[in-house]
Amino acid sequence: MSGQLEEAQMALTEVSKSSRELGSELMEAWPQIYLGAALLAKGQMTQGLKMLEEVRAACLENKIRSAYVSTEYILGKVYSLIALVPCNIYKFG
């Protein structure tokens, strides 16, 4: 699956770059959302969450509602999974 994620990451990066060059905020948002999700799937939590947070803010600013809602959904799922991970409070003491 890692090979497929790498392939998807390269394709999404290219689409995002082309959309940016064309000046299309709408078309730039979607590949960034999926690229952020791909980074999360690869275990690159910091980069993936940062990308999703940034694209969420851009979607809100540019009133791209469908992409904003999708980003909120993905972030909600990720944060809920993080919150559900059992932790041992004694490790922090």
Q: Which tens digits make up the pLDDT trace of 3-22? A: 777 787 777 777 777 777 77
Which residue type, as a one-letter code, is found at position 67?
A
- Predicted confidence at residue 68, as pLDDT, reads 95
What percent of the chain clears pLDDT 90, i.e. is strictly above it? 39
- Predicted confidence at residue 75, as pLDDT, reads 95
Structure tokens at 59: 């979607």
Contact 71, 52 (CB under 8 A): yes
Q: What is the domain extent for residue 8?
A: 2-92
What is the tally of structural domains in the chain? 1
Res 1 pLDDT > 60: no
- Predicted confidence at residue 93, as pLDDT, reads 44
- Going by pLDDT thresholds of 50, 70 and 90, the confidence category of residue 36 is very high
Structure tokens at 50: 């940062």
Q: Using CA of residue 57, residue 59, residue 60, residue 61, what is the dihedral sign?
A: positive
Burial profile 25-49: b = 16 or more Cβ within 10 angstroms, e = fewer: eebbbbbbbbbbbbbbebeeeeebb
Contact 29, 64 (CB under 8 A): yes
Question: From the CA atom positions of the chain, what is the Rg in Å?
Answer: 15
